[in-house]
A and B are shown apart, each in its own frame.
Chain A
Amino acid sequence: MMRRLFAVFHARNLEFVRDRGTLIFTLLLPIMIVIGMGFVFGGPPRPLFKVGVLGDPAERQAHPFLIERYLQSVPLEDQQAALGKLTHQQIDLLVDLHGPTRYWVNTDSPKGYVVERLLRAAEPAAQREPVTGAAIRYIDWLFPGILGMNMMFSCLFGVGYVVLRYRKSGFLKRLHATPLSAFEFLGAQVLSRLTLIVVVTSILYLGIGSIIHFHSAGSSALLALLALLGALSMIALGLTIAARFSSDELVGGLLNILTWPMMLLSGIWYSLEGSPRWVQWVADVFPLTHLLDGARAVMLDGAGIRQIAPDLLYLAATTLVFLTFGAWSFRWRID
């Protein structure tokens, strides 16, 4: 028995090692997860207070208030957007260092009260501007993230593995012998999955929304358009991965290598504000980031089509790029 077991064990090891793509991704994935976790949860302890700062970065460095311990300064350029964050208590204080120091404090925020005391200790003459506004509940902020994450898994794995299974079973080869074109086949897959996602996401949106008493601040039609484009982009991405390969492990590895960074960096669980600039650049590549940014803007801030137009355009453009690449690299049969 041991001899047969060893023979099978050996053959399996050989097969695995000779499948270079799978091997590389199998090794790369844990490394990427560790690096990603390191960026998010590693480093020095999180600061206790977040202070939005309008003005020259050089002045910021020098200001005695901003070098206090447990305080993180977040550079902001647009005063209106910054005030929005203060209203939602996403930052605890907003300081303007142009000319005489001005600051805005949310009088509904307990942390705002404490951090205001720190500022006045450092600069008693600073001019006070009060604002009010309740904090956005974390659950409200998380809600779009959860919906987006569910969509991501359904889009990537649902489509990727199905096409792979069809190819491996020879079903794709049989379809190839008919007048069906690659674009038609892929289009059908996209539409099928899109329908499923629309139904499931609508149920989740209404179901979870009623449980947590969530009310969207913006237009439902705009939200639906955004969700459609987001789902299309991620389905097309899944098809791109499954367009060519025939190895379960390789496709699984590739899908994992896409989903994990999206899980960590697209802002499903926490805001990326204050993280290094390049992390935000990486995050901006993912369709999920644009879907969630747009969805939060509509759902929490009541943004209109003009504000989220860049996100919509990005999702539409990536859909086109992924689908074109997927159709171009598509293989009906195992090479």
Chain B
Amino acid sequence: MSTPLLEVRDLVKQYAATTAVAGVTFSVPEGICFGLLGPNGAGKTTTVEIMEGILPPTSGEVRYRGAPLDARFREEAGILFQKTALQDHLTVRHCIALFRGLYAHGLEVDEVIRICALEALVDRDARKLSGGQHQRLLLAIALVNDPAVLFLDEPTTGLDPQARRNFWELVASIKARRKTIILTTHYMEEAELLCDEIAIMDRGRILTQGAPGALLRAHFAEVLLELPRPEFPEAARQLPLKIFDGGDKVEITTHDLEATLRTLLTAHVPLTNLRIRPPNLEDLFLELTGKELRP
């Protein structure tokens, strides 16, 4: 079996009063998009910053291509932090060129500009970019060294839906170039769309790990029916079904969809607005931690 690109072993990060990461172990094979999922404060960013070599762990270790993080790792890693300010008064091209100058090998500045669709913005002051444009610039900076592994820490937080979709397309195109991507997010849609493998974190620990589809199959053998709460008769709550209240909806989980539908029809429950959907990662997180992924 080949050595994983990145290995995280028994990682612990202890601060004075809190334990941010409480013993995390996983490995990332080359060429996949690996997602770290969890709510705010789960320990995702701390874990990723230790993996990036930015933060020293209290104990445990991170290995890149079988060796501790070293100068080679810094040359071959591309990083997009949650928040990064750039130097004042620099244009988009200046910013990319500055970072390109810090690496021995990499892509041409113009190529990075093309990949990240920044052609129209090259002469603009970096401080005058919109949120989505700024993230594209930060991604361009993360790509200047043509990295073997790309870390994206909540890259679409705070972006509007259109900018988020654009960014996903961009990441998908990078993924298609067989780059290894480590993505942290609390957007389930993002993880489902981009990740080949995920680890769900809460309170500094990994709760479960695997391919999104396999995890859902392992945890849910049921389908989910959703009905608007005002249309659900009180009397129907006595039916022999697994019924949950979910905000303005009533949710029913079942192994046998046909039998459940027959029961609801017999009880004269209006089914005009019925939605049937497979469980998603949001449901999985709820199932694992008992809380919403996005508070």
A interface residues with partner B (beta carbon < 8 Å):
166, 169-171, 173-180, 332-333
Contact = CB atoms under 8 A, between A and B. Distances in A.
B75 A177 contact: no
Interface in B68-119: 71, 74-75, 77, 79, 81, 83-87, 99, 102-104
21 contacts: A166-B87, A169-B85, A170-B83, A170-B85, A171-B85, A171-B87, A173-B54, A173-B84, A174-B81, A174-B84, A174-B141, A175-B102, A177-B52, A177-B53, A177-B74, A177-B77, A177-B81, A178-B102, A178-B103, A179-B74, A179-B102
SS of B interface (majority)? loop
Contacts, number: 40
Contacts of B103: 178-179
B99 A178 contact: yes
Interface residues of B, number: 19
Contacts of A333: 54
Contact of B79 (A166, A177, A180, A332): A177
A180 B81 contact: no
A180 B101 CA distance: 10
Contacts of B52: 177
B84 A171 contact: yes
Interface centre among B75, B102, B104 (most CB of A within 10 A): B102
A34 B85 CA distance: 40
B85 A176 contact: no
A333 B102 CA distance: 19
B54 A176 contact: yes
A170 B102 contact: no
Contacts of A177: 52-54, 74, 77, 79, 81
Contacts of A169: 85
Nearest to A172: B85
A151 to B, nearest CB: 24
Contacts of A170: 81, 83-85
B160 to A, nearest CB: 23
A179 B54 contact: no
Contacts of B141: 174
B75 A179 contact: yes
Given A175-B102, A178-B103, A333-B54, 16 more contacts: A170-B84, A171-B84, A171-B87, A173-B54, A173-B84, A174-B79, A176-B54, A177-B52, A177-B53, A177-B79, A177-B81, A178-B74, A178-B99, A179-B71, A179-B74, A179-B104
